[in-house]
Structure formats: structure tokens, C-alpha cells
Structure 1
Amino acid sequence: MTDQVTTVVVTRDRWDDLTRSLPHHRPPVVLVDNGSTDGTPELVRAAFPDVRVLTLSENIGAVARNLGVVEARTPYVAFADDDSWWAPGALACAAELLDDHPRLALVAARILVGPEERLDPMSTEMARSPLPAEPDLPGPPVLGFVACGAVVRREPFLLAGGFDGVVEFGGEEQRLALDLAAAGWGLAYADDVVAHHHPSARRGPQDGRRALLARNELLTAVMRLPWPAVWDTARRGVAAGPAERLGTLRGLRRAPGALRRRRVVPTAVEQRRRMLG
């Protein structure tokens, strides 16, 4: 059933990571290159001729995944980063879950990190989701996910707009999860669907990452949450620490773009979001 799933990989200037991850993927695979300057597209085409390569002239962040989904011709799409891959049998398992549960739009996988295969903390949180069980979903309902550990139903993903250019990258999953839930779709964690993530050595400093996540949390709140929740998000960001304070201020500067896309989620979705703390 893996022929029902296209794997979409997004990369930028990480050929070394791709030499380790791409051999684990099974076709169909679409790689979207976010404006690499290290010759990645040509190297991938030469070394992995079964991979369809889309090249962009600039880095558009997580939005690049949308182009891979549009290119896909399968009902389901699995996301992978250049430093991640799916375990054998994982995509067949995800496809079976999606086949058997028509309201399910997204399967959130169990993510194992590094060669020692540590359980990703986000996977632990999702497995213990406090959201009430839903009989037409195959596992704990969730309202968030990690992109490199997600398999989506292609049509609702595209109808929800995919990932957006307001946040670009870093916490980009939040708004999409809210929009899928607002449209009545289900998102569920599946322990039997496994992804491997071996974080790239080229990742930036942690302070920069924390600032980016704080910025994007605020932007997502402006786009989708009631104003009291927006103010609460801003207060928490300012109080969390120097990196988060900087990110929150950057978010305020980008708020006009988020305001143009503001569409508050239904009360029922906001109530579920608040249950997650």
C-alpha cells in the first residue's frame, strides 16, 4: 500500500544529510529544493534518479512542502525532512489507517531521534493526549504534530491551504492543525507508524530556534485564536526569557501579515486547544 503514499522531502544546502536519508525512502518521492547553493538538485538527480526534484529560486520555508503535495498523484502524502525518514512498513500502516477511517486527515507518527532511537518528547505528549477519545479515529486525538512525522490526506491538506508563508518555518504545524480541526477533520497519534529523525549537524543555535518558535506561536495566535488568547501568548513569550522575548517582538512586527489572514477557529476547537495547556 506504499503506492498510495508520496513522500515529500524539503531541503536546502544539506546534500550530506540527504546522502544518509534518501536511500531509506521508497518511491514515489518528491524532493523540493528551497534555493540551495551547494548543487543539491543536480546531485540528487544524478545519485537518486527515481526522486522527482522540484527546484525553487529562493527559500520559501515550509510552504515548499505544498508544492510537493500538489505534485503528488497519490491520495496520501508523508512529509520528511532531509535528516529524517520513515521506518519500513510505516507508510503502509498509515495508508491502512487512512483507508479505514474516512474522517482522519492526519496521522501523527511515533518519532525516534538519533541512532539511539530516543522517543521524541512531542510523541510522548501526543500519546498522552488529554483530548477526549473519538470513536471514528484510530488513536489519541491530537491538535498538533511534527511535520517530519506526519502523513496527511492530500485533499483536505490542500483545501486547508497547507503550510503558510506568514510563519514560513518553525512551528508551522500549529495553524494547519487548527484549520483541519475547524473543518471537521480528525488528527490522531498512531504509535505503530514510526519515523526516524537524526537531527542535522547544520542546525542553527538553540536561542535562534526558541526565538523563531515564539515569533511563530504569536503569529499563529493572531491568525486563528480569540484576542484574549493572543494577549496571553504575547505575555508568555515576553516572560519566558530573552530569546522568546526577542521572538515575540519580531512577531509583533510581522503581525499585519497575520491579521490579513485572521479567521478565528470555532469555539469547540478553541476549547480543545485550551485543554492541551
Structure 2
Amino acid sequence: MQTRPVVSVIIVSYNTREMTLDCLRALYADLAGLDSEVWVVDNASTDGSPAAIRAAFPAVHLLENSRNVGFGIANNQAMARAGGEFFLLLNTDAFPKPGAVGSLVAYLRAHPDTAIAGPRLLNADGSLQISCFPFPSPSRAWLENLWISTALPNHPVVGDYRRWPHDRERQVDTVIGACMLVRRTAYEQVGGFDENFFMYTEEIEWQRRLRDRNWQIAFTPTAQVTHLGGASGATEAARINRHFFDSLDYYEWKHHGLAGLISLRLAMTIGCFLRSILWTLVLVAVPRRRPLARSKARLQAWLTVRQATHWRLDLRGRAQC
């Protein structure tokens, strides 16, 4: 009788060949002794990723898409096929430290009411990376875009998740999707990612649905993962922001209705406008910061116009990466 693996690791790859290989090396070093399987879903990479993965890691279950279907659909494809008791969703730029996966498994086994456990994320230099956040809402958008949360860092709605030192276990609203361990039975109850999302916010919406079904989301610092994140220029930043705001619009519309969406967009428009003014002042007053300030001012001005004028909930139809 075939036994179910403890963990099915799922990695979505898109033109990150060398990083994906590095991720797999770190992963397999951590998985030693743990009954597991590894799935990689490649979203039509053009950098030779599939061939390189096959050559270096023949045991990997590799799914190849003919186009970039996005983060959520790709993960859903693998979760529908994977056999693990738990799913570890792992970004290609996330590198588990020794014992990380085992610590996450131990946490979920000790807390049967918890659907997702997230690790302590570290930057490349070893510093803490904030990885837990409250659910988005219109009121929170106003607090953040008018800098009220900055002026009141201990505000219970916004400040708490950013101020605590991430040195103890606790229940949270959301953990970011760079690395999360998911209980299969929770997935079977609520389903996978909403496939109307292409990228960004889909893991937040998923955790919202889990919380609505009385599942808990948790952070545990005993598991540590280095997460590099992405660096981008002005053109790339504009594309990323477009996808992010499209997804945030859909989240607000889905969970807070039209009134919530309108409130969010008004808060975001005002916030982007204020930031464009701030960066313009930096551009004029601080010569050594001019290259950065010019780029930031242009981006925030573009976002101001985009937030005020773009009102289509056009998610699956938007341009591919």
C-alpha cells in the first residue's frame, strides 16, 4: 500500500533558472530524512529552466505550462496532483535553513486548528524581513495612505504586525506567500487559490477564506527561511504596481463590495498624490537623491492617474508577464 508523503513542496518557476536550482539545493538539504516529494510548475520559461531542472534534479515532478498562467493557477495545478499531508508553497527566491520544513510540520501537527504556518523570513544579510500583515480593508488603506499608521506606530489595527520582533509564535491574519506550509484538509475544505488573480494578493485572499471557515493562520520563528525578494527598475516597478493594484481592487470588491472598493481607490489616489509631492520636494531639495527621487516621483504620479482613472476589474484578461 502506497503511503502519503508528509510534505509536497510546490515551487512555481518563471525565468529564474539559476535561482530555482539554488532553491532546490537548499530545499533538498533541508528535506533529508523527511518523507517528501517536490513539484515544480514552470510557467513557460524561456531561459532553459525545465531542462536544467530535469538534469540536476531528476526526482522532481515537473509540470510545464505553455504560457505564463500566474502564481495561483500554477500552485493549484500542483496541489491537485500532489499527495502530501501538507503542501509547502515555496518561492524560487526563498531558501530554507536547516530544520525549517520540519519545524513547520511540527507546528501544524501540534495545532490542528491551524491551516497555514509561516516561518521567520530573513533578508540576504540576515536581518528580519516583515512577513505577517493584517487583512486589507478600506479603513486600513486610509490609515496607511494618510501616514496615520506612521504617526501612530502602536495603533492596534496597523502598527502591531510591524512593531513586534517576530521572536515568538502567534496567530496572525496573513503570512506572505514566499514560504508557507498548508494543511491538506484545509485546502480540501476551502479549495485553492482564486484563479481570477494573476499575481499578488492571492495568498491573502486565500487566507481570508480560511479564516472565514474558522481556520487559524500562524507564524513560528523556529523555522527560518532566507527570502531575497526582487529588485526592479522604474519600468518593472510600474508593471508590478499595475498587477498589485489590479489584484487589490479585486480583493476589496470581493470582500468589501463596491463601497469598499471606492473607498480604497480614493485612499490610494490621495496617498499616491501625496507621495508624488513628497518625492518632488526631495528632487528639488536634495541633489544627491535626485536619481531616486525622480524615479519615485514619476512612479507615484503615474499611480495617481492610474488609481483615479482605471476602474476595470479586468483580472484574467490583463497582459501577461
Provide the TM-score with structure 1 as the length reference.
0.79
The answer to whether the Cα contact below 8 Å between 1:128 and 1:140 also exists between their aligned partners in 2 is: no
Q: 1:147 maps to what in 2?
A: 177
Matched, 1:72 2:82: yes
Change (3 A) 1:174 1:201: closer
Structure 1: where are the runs of 5+ without partners? 131-137, 258-277
Matched, 1:86 2:145: no
The answer to whether the Cα contact below 8 Å between 1:107 and 1:150 also exists between their aligned partners in 2 is: yes
Structure-1 separation of matches of 2:133 and 2:195: 29
| TM-aligned CA deviation for residue 229 of structure 1 | 2.5
| TM-aligned CA deviation for residue 31 of structure 1 | 0.4
Structure-2 separation of matches of 1:164 and 1:109: 23
User: How many residues in Structure 1 have an aligned counterpart in Structure 2?
Assistant: 248
Q: 1:53 maps to what in 2?
A: 62
Structure-2 separation of matches of 1:118 and 1:54: 34
Change (3 A) 1:231 1:255: farther
Structure-2 separation of matches of 1:245 and 1:201: 22
Give the secondary structure class of the aligned counterpart of 1:205: helix
Structure-2 separation of matches of 1:35 and 1:113: 28
Structure-2 separation of matches of 1:47 and 1:185: 38
Equivalent residues in 2 for 1:244-259, closer than 5 Å? 244-245=303-304, 248=307, 252-254=311-313
Structure-2 separation of matches of 1:216 and 1:100: 34
CA-based RMSD = 2.8
Q: 2:265 maps to what in 1?
A: 234
- Share of identical aligned residues, percent? 21
Structure 2: where are the runs of 5+ without partners? 29-35, 135-157, 163-167, 273-300, 317-321
**Letter of the 1:221 counterpart:** E
Measured against aligned partners, the alpha-carbon deviations of 1:87-106 in whole angstroms (never above 9, x if no partner) come to 21111111111111111000
| TM-aligned CA deviation for residue 201 of structure 1 | 6.0
| TM-aligned CA deviation for residue 76 of structure 1 | 0.7
Structure-2 separation of matches of 1:30 and 1:109: 20
Give the secondary structure class of the aligned counterpart of 1:73: coil
Q: 1:272 maps to what in 2?
A: none
Give the secondary structure class of the aligned counterpart of 2:12: strand
Which of 21, 28, 52 aligns to 1:43? It is: 52
Matched, 1:199 2:258: no
Give the secondary structure class of the aligned counterpart of 1:99: helix
Structure-2 separation of matches of 1:182 and 1:197: 29
| TM-aligned CA deviation for residue 247 of structure 1 | 5.6
102-111 or 36-45: which moved more?
36-45
Matched, 1:104 2:114: yes
The answer to whether the Cα contact below 8 Å between 2:12 and 2:91 also exists between their aligned partners in 1 is: yes
Q: 2:20 maps to what in 1?
A: 18
